[in-house]
């Protein structure tokens, strides 16, 4: 009774306080997706915008950046007043009409009240249109503003104008940026950017230009949230590793209840899959028309299936681990898998009721928490729109809320509370101070759970963590006291209410139906108990058979097949000679192979030389180097798009021609930053790009928007650009100006705007095929030239066709890799349950395992330390330096989890080996010599195949010189430090595949068939990746060699096994 | 495992022959030396394993 009173009281508090405590935004919504489509259509018809697209996509969107700015700088009331006003639409509907495969499309943006905010008529770059003069285009833009968008001329002034000459068609697109003279959103100027493509309006877009100073300050704040979350994430990772160790431990005793765990995981996975599929239609809004529509849909479905599988897997594994330790630790609690059967008992009914009370208490608590902390301490949480029009546009709006709540309610309770607290309880046992130990456990798990949520938008960074920590302490105590049923029900209901609130935002039938379904699901646990209660005419006591400790003892696992999986024979003298011969051939081919040529500047400059060159480049600009901290790393561009373009146009020699100017494949980047100043000051930096041979490529001065530089006219800037180009050694008369942009950067403190002009030229001396252009870009910040950079611009037609081909390739590669992984993993599980171990020898005892892992860990840390300079060069100047260092150090330590992967692979490898019956090392007197011979043969086979492949192929375009190792403090150690793990992981992966084949198939013919199938699948990925990039005069021989790599490795391993026995 | 070490050693021999800078030469020599060290370690391990198995 007391629980019912508490439940009602908490629910009442939550209903009354919640809307006052949380910054909620109400929106006057006049549109539905169908109405938005109709309004957009009539706008397009009225203004001659194309409406012939075969598909339409509608989506509701929020302007998150502007909302955060208004929220933080002005508060929730400012957000509400902007939402209620007409100056800037924080929420908008987007309507897109397009045809898959066609670059042309039409988009219209609408305000929730039905006003047209803007539009886009996308033209292909190759579409020709008559040219308009700058004045005519401006007049047309003003017509668009005043007549199309109903924005009167008195409030808007022209702030900037730009033009762009499109490659392939020479169409000139002119862009005019108008700015509201009478209104800003705090300090953010309101802009309307109108583009005239040739002689037709092609775009009108409204923006509120959030000051860069705020964006940087906000990113700095967010880095604190993220860091707290990462630290807690390390705790969560440890819990997941703990779950796997628990599973490994109890798998031997047969105590794990896999079936039930998989059923729950499967249901959650199916719900997640259904929720993903339900939202697929929304994905059309972001669909790239360059890709095939069928492939795009297949990839979205694949992502949804993958998400469902991951949900099922993580939930099933965590549940299985948490349940088995909970059963051991708390045998007096009702068994998890008897909750349903025992729903008519006083114990289960009480816990379900407690769950409802807990959810109501949680909602009341969170409302009161933010009411107090926001008003008294000024803590911040973002404003939220309760409505979710995108969800409402789907067939089953309620599905996502149910799926997410179920997964969170069950998985998070099992992982963050049940598993660690049960393990702690087992460890503490009945030793003195048990209560204190358990209390400490509750606090620590609540800290991990609470601060794992710290990356949500909130300020101070710890606010969200504190809120959830306090609640989680109660939940943890309840798990220890009552078992997890109450908290699982409470967590599920709490999340369901929050995620399902959107259903209360409207009164239309769709909202009502969603609300009814969500309410029914929320009531389901109570209805299940209530129905049983009514049937029994009361509640009964739980029987011993329903208790966790009353479960039947595990049945002994069935005897596995002990038939030999492999018949081991001695290695014949001929096989030994073959091994030696292969070793010699492989060695000769490895050593005698000619040095493959590299593209562009050779990697002849050392790190110190590169730094000295960069120093000189800045000193020449009069920069005092003592004010700056220098960071440097190498960069290699993937270059693949450029390669494919040149191969398609048979213009491979251009790669070498432009490799030290317009298209370098690799370079050093030396940054000069000031990491110790305030966030505004840290925005300024210098970046010097240096070629691998020590020549300076270009220098960039990154200036914050607030740094003042005098404004210059476009003509003055044009003259200054020519001077800068000459200084950079570029032949100015041969350049043709093809693009000029102007951008205004706001200095919030002084309420003035710097005008940044940029020019893009085409180099008429470089003749590229297929409308590609060699570009030179000169950027100004006010009167200062901040960058002169050369690059290549590929034509839109090629980029679209290439995207289409690449998407197809990625799908093929992904499918093949997935097939190999599924076959091998499936094979591991299949053989595990069907083949008995035939040997019981172990290499690693506990001490040796710890020493090996420690050695690998030390190597990994040394490797990270060696690469530390490159890690530092990835510094984001919006983050405080010390926080960045701490974050990187934490990530380095967390990467030691990889050792767990090595250990897991070893366990799988060794388990399979013992099932095959293969000794780890050769047995007998002369064994080492024979092992070495067999190893030489296997390595020789690999090197021979590799050498032959290299002989048969030539790259159409040489690769970039590898600069990776130069990043290290001691570059010479790069290979050594990475050797440990690559050696282990490579061997283990190959061994696992071979053992699975040996165990799964019984005859040599079947084994070879399986090997060839896996070999063919495995060779598809690298084959497709280099498609078009390599040449060969013997393509058939090359394909046979590529496909036969895995079968050869298998045969060689088979020989190795025989050797071990023979000795 | 032996094969993996031998394969790495073969690859590094090729890298040493083709190295054009002192850094690349040192790097190849260091990796070859480590391979040799690991080879000796594997041999010791195999001896210990045989002793423990017998």
The residue ranking higher by pLDDT, A947 or A160, is A160
- Rounded to the nearest angstrom, the minimum Cα separation between A270 and chain B is 42
Element (H, E) at A344: none
Strand pairing report for A105-110 and A24-25: unpaired
Q: Is A82 left (phi over 0), alpha (psi -120 to 50) or beta?
A: alpha
For A178, the 3-state DSSP assignment is strand
Peptide bond connecting A937 to the previous residue in cis, omega within 30 degrees of 0: no
The residues near A739 (Cβ < 8 Å, ≥ 6 apart) are A162, A163, A164, A165, A758, A759, A760
| pLDDT tens-digit series, residues A77-97 | 999 999 999 999 999 999 999
Yes or no: say if A499 and A400 are a contact pair by the CB < 8 Å rule.
yes
For the record, the structure tokens of A776 come out as 């030179």
Decide if B3 and A587 are in contact by the 8 Å CB cutoff.
Answer: no
Q: Of A401, A392, A441, give the one whose Cα is nearest residue A421.
A: A441
Of B4, B23, B34, the CB nearest to A976: B34
Decide if B3 and A938 are in contact by the 8 Å CB cutoff.
Answer: yes
| pLDDT tens-digit series, residues B1-54 | 788 888 888 888 888 888 878 888 888 898 899 889 988 888 888 887 777 766
Q: Is the dihedral of CA A884, A885, A888, A894 positive or negative?
A: negative
Dist. CA A1061–CA A570, nearest whole Å: 7
Buried b (16+ CB within 10 A) or exposed e, A98-125: bebeebbbbbbbbbbeeebbbbbbbbbb
Yes or no: say if A174 and A134 are a contact pair by the CB < 8 Å rule.
yes
Decide if B27 and A986 are in contact by the 8 Å CB cutoff.
Answer: no
Decide if B27 and A971 are in contact by the 8 Å CB cutoff.
Answer: yes
Q: Of B37, B47, B52, give the one whose Cα is nearest residue A845.
A: B52
Q: Which pLDDT value is given to residue A594? A: 73
Q: Which residues pair with residue A164 across a beta bridge?
A: A173, A739
Chain B positions in Cβ-Cβ contact with residue A972 (cut-off 8 Å): 23, 26-27, 30
Per-residue DSSP letter, A683: T
Q: Measured in whole angstroms, how far is the alpha carbon of residue A182 from the centre of its chain?
A: 42
Average pLDDT for residues A382-386, to the nearest whole number? 92
Note the pTM of the prediction, 2 decimals: 0.90
The chain B residue lying nearest A942, using CA atoms, is: B7
Q: Which pLDDT value is given to residue B4? A: 81
For the record, the structure tokens of A382 come out as 């973002």
Q: Of A1049, A922, A1040, give the one whose Cα is nearest residue A993.
A: A1049
Average pLDDT for residues A967-984, to the nearest whole number? 79
Chain A positions in Cβ-Cβ contact with residue B23 (cut-off 8 Å): 606, 965-966, 971-972
Of A587, A932, A986, the CB nearest to B2: A932
Q: Which pLDDT value is given to residue A1018? A: 82
Q: Which pLDDT value is given to residue A422? A: 96
Furthest-apart CA atoms within chain B: distance in Å:
50
Decide if A939 and B3 are in contact by the 8 Å CB cutoff.
Answer: yes
Q: State how far the alpha carbon of A295 is from the alpha carbons of A287, A797, A803, A859, in Å.
A: 11, 19, 12, 43
The chain A residue lying nearest B32, using CA atoms, is: A976
Decide if B7 and A1052 are in contact by the 8 Å CB cutoff.
Answer: no
Return the half-sphere exposure (C-beta side, CA atoms, 13 A cut-off) of residue A921: 23
Dist. CA A996–CA A827, nearest whole Å: 6
Decide if B5 and A935 are in contact by the 8 Å CB cutoff.
Answer: yes
A674 pLDDT more than 70: yes
Q: State how far the alpha carbon of A504 is from the alpha carbons of A384, A400, A645, in Å.
A: 14, 15, 54
Buried b (16+ CB within 10 A) or exposed e, A352-386: bbbbbbbbbbbbbbbbebbeebbeeeebbbbbebb
Dist. CA A56–CA A60, nearest whole Å: 14
Where does the pLDDT of residue A1063 fall: very low under 50, low under 70, confident under 90, or very high at 90 and above?
Answer: very low
The chain B residue lying nearest A975, using CA atoms, is: B31
Chain B positions in Cβ-Cβ contact with residue A966 (cut-off 8 Å): 23
- Rounded to the nearest angstrom, the minimum Cα separation between A829 and chain B is 24
| pLDDT tens-digit series, residues A247-279 | 988 887 888 888 999 999 999 999 999 999 999
Decide if B5 and A936 are in contact by the 8 Å CB cutoff.
Answer: no
Q: Which residues pair with residue A736 across a beta bridge?
A: A762
Average pLDDT for residues A519-537, to the nearest whole number? 95
| pLDDT tens-digit series, residues A331-350 | 999 999 999 999 999 999 99
Where does the pLDDT of residue A555 fall: very low under 50, low under 70, confident under 90, or very high at 90 and above?
Answer: low
Q: Phi and psi for A537 in degrees, rounded to 5?
A: 60, 40
- Rounded to the nearest angstrom, the minimum Cα separation between B44 and chain A is 10
Q: Which residues pair with residue A404 across a beta bridge?
A: none
The chain A residue lying nearest B17, using CA atoms, is: A591
**Among the listed ranges A189-203, A342-356, A948-962, B10-24, which one has the minimum average pLDDT value?**
A948-962
**Among the listed ranges A337-351, A577-591, A775-789, which one has the minimum average pLDDT value?**
A577-591
Dist. CA A1049–CA A943, nearest whole Å: 11
Of B14, B34, B46, the CB nearest to A590: B14
Of A936, A971, A979, the CB nearest to B8: A979
Q: Phi and psi for A880 in degrees, rounded to 5?
A: -65, 145
Average pLDDT for residues A794-809, to the nearest whole number? 93
Cβ–Cβ contact B17 with A under 8 A: yes
Cβ–Cβ contact B19 with A under 8 A: no
For the record, the structure tokens of A1040 come out as 């046979």
Decide if A595 and B18 are in contact by the 8 Å CB cutoff.
Answer: yes
Per-residue DSSP letter, A502: G
Of B10, B31, B45, the CB nearest to A590: B10
Element (H, E) at A537: none
- Rounded to the nearest angstrom, the minimum Cα separation between A930 and chain B is 11
Chain B positions in Cβ-Cβ contact with residue A936 (cut-off 8 Å): 2-3, 6
């Amino acid at each position: 009774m007391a629980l019912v009173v508490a439940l009602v009281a908490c629910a009442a508090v939550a209903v009354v306080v919640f809307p006052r405590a949380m910054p909620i935004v109400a929106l006057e919504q006049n549109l539905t997706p169908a109405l938005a489509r109709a309004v957009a259509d009539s706008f397009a018809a009225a203004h001659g915008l194309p409406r012939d697209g075969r598909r339409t996509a509608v989506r509701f969107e929020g302007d998150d950046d502007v909302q955060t700015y208004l929220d933080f700088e002005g508060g929730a009331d400012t957000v509400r007043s902007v939402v209620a006003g007409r100056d800037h639409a924080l929420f908008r509907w987007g309507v897109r009409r397009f045809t898959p495969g066609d670059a042309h499309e039409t988009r219209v943006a609408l305000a929730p009240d039905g006003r047209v905010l803007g539009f886009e008529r996308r033209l292909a770059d190759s579409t020709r249109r008559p040219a308009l003069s700058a004045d005519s285009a401006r007049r047309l833009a003003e017509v668009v503003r005043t007549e199309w968008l109903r924005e009167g001329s008195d409030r808007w002034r022209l702030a900037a104008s730009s033009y762009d000459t499109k490659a392939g068609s020479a169409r000139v697109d002119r862009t005019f940026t108008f700015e509201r003279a009478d209104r800003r959103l705090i300090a953010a100027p309101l802009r309307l950017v109108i583009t005239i493509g040739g002689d037709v309006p092609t775009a009108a877009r409204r923006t509120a230009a959030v000051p860069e100073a705020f964006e940087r300050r906000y990113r700095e704040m967010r880095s604190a949230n993220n860091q707290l979350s990462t630290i807690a994430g390390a705790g969560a990772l440890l819990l997941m590793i703990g779950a796997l160790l628990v599973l490994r431990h109890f798998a031997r005793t047969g105590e794990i209840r896999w079936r039930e765990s998989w059923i729950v995981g499967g249901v959650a996975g199916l719900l997640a899959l259904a929720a993903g599929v339900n939202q697929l239609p929304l994905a059309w809004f972001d669909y790239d028309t360059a890709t095939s529509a069928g492939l795009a849909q297949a990839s979205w479905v694949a992502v949804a299936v993958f998400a469902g599988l991951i949900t099922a897997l993580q939930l099933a594994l965590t549940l299985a681990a948490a349940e088995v330790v909970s059963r051991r630790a708390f045998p007096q609690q009702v068994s998890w898998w008897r909750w349903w059967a025992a729903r008519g008992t006083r114990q289960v009914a009480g816990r379900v009721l407690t769950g409802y009370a807990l959810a109501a208490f949680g909602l009341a608590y969170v409302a009161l928490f933010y009411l107090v902390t926001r008003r008294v301490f000024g803590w911040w949480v973002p404003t939220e729109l309760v409505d979710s029009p995108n969800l409402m546009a789907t067939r089953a709006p309620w599905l996502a809320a149910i799926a997410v709540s179920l997964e969170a309610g069950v998985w998070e309770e099992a992982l963050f509370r049940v598993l660690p607290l049960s393990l702690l309880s087992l460890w503490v046992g009945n030793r003195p101070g048990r209560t204190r130990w358990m209390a400490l456990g509750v606090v620590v798990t609540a800290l991990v759970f609470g601060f794992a949520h710290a990356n949500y938008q909130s300020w101070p960074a710890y606010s969200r963590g504190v809120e959830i920590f306090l609640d989680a302490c109660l939940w943890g105590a309840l798990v220890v006291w009552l078992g997890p049923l109450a908290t699982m029900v409470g967590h599920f209901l709490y999340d369901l209410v929050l995620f399902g609130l959107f259903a209360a935002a409207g009164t239309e039938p769709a909202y009502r139906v969603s609300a009814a379904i969500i309410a029914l699901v929320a009531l389901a646990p109570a209805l299940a108990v209530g129905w049983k209660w009514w049937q029994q005419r009361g509640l009964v006591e739980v029987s011993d058979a329903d208790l966790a400790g009353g479960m039947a003892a595990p049945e002994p696992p069935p005897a596995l097949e002990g038939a030999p999986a492999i018949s081991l024979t001695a290695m014949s003298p001929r096989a030994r000679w073959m091994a030696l011969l292969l070793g010699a051939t492989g060695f000769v081919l490895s050593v005698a192979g000619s040095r493959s040529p590299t593209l562009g500047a050779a990697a002849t400059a050392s790190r110190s030389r590169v730094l000295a060159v960069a120093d000189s480049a800045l000193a020449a600009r009069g920069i005092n180097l003592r004010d700056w901290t220098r960071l440097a790393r190498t960069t290699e561009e993937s270059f693949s798009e450029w390669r494919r373009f040149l191969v398609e146009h048979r213009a491979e020699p251009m790669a070498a021609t432009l490799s030290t100017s317009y298209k370098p494949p690799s370079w050093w980047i030396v940054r000069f930053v000031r990491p110790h100043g305030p966030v505004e000051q840290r925005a300024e930096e210098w970046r010097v790009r240096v070629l691998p041979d020590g020549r300076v490529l270009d220098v960039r001065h990154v200036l914050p928007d607030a740094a003042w530089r005098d404004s210059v006219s476009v003509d003055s800037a044009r003259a200054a650009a020519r001077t800068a180009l000459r200084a950079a050694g570029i032949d100015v008369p041969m350049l043709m100006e093809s693009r000029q942009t102007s951008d205004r950067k706001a200095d919030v403190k002084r309420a003035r705007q710097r005008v940044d002009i940029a020019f893009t030229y085409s180099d008429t001396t470089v003749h590229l095929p297929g409308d590609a252009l060699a570009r030179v870009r000169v950027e100004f910040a006010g009167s200062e030239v901040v960058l002169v950079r050369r690059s290549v611009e590929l034509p839109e037609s090629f980029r679209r066709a290439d995207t289409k081909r690449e998407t197809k390739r990625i799908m093929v590669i992904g499918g093949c890799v997935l097939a190999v992984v599924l076959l091998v993993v499936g094979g591991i599980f299949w053989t595990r349950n069907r083949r008995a171990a035939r040997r019981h020898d172990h290499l690693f005892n506990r001490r040796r395992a710890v020493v090996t892992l420690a050695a690998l860990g030390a190597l990994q840390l040394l490797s990270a330390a060696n690469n530390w300079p490159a890690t530092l060069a990835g510094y984001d100047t919006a983050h405080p330096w010390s926080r960045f260092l701490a974050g990187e150090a934490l990530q380095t330590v967390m990467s030691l989890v990889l050792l767990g992967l090595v250990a897991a692979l070893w366990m799988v490898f060794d388990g399979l080996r013992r099932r095959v019956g293969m000794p780890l090392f050769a047995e007998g007197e002369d064994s080492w010599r024979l092992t070495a011979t067999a190893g030489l043969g296997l390595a020789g086979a690999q090197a021979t195949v590799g050498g032959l492949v290299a002989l048969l192929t030539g790259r159409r375009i040489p690769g970039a010189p590898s600069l990776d190792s130069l990043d290290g403090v001691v570059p010479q150690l790069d290979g050594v430090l990475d050797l440990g793990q690559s050696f282990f992981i490579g061997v283990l992966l190959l061994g696992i595949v071979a053992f699975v084949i040996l165990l799964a198939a019984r005859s040599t013919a079947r084994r070879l068939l399986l090997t060839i199938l896996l070999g063919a699948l495995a060779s598809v990925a690298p084959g497709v990746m280099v498609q078009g990039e390599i040449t060969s005069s013997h393509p058939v021989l090359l394909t046979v060699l590529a496909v036969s790599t895995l079968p050869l490795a298998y045969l060689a391993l088979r020989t190795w096994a025989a050797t071990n026995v023979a000795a | 495992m032996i094969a993996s070490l031998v394969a790495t050693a073969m690859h590094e021999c090729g890298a040493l022959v083709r190295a054009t800078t002192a850094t690349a030469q040192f790097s190849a020599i260091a990796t070859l030396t480590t391979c040799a060290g690991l080879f000796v370690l594997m041999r010791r391990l195999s001896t210990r394993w045989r002793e423990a198995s017998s």
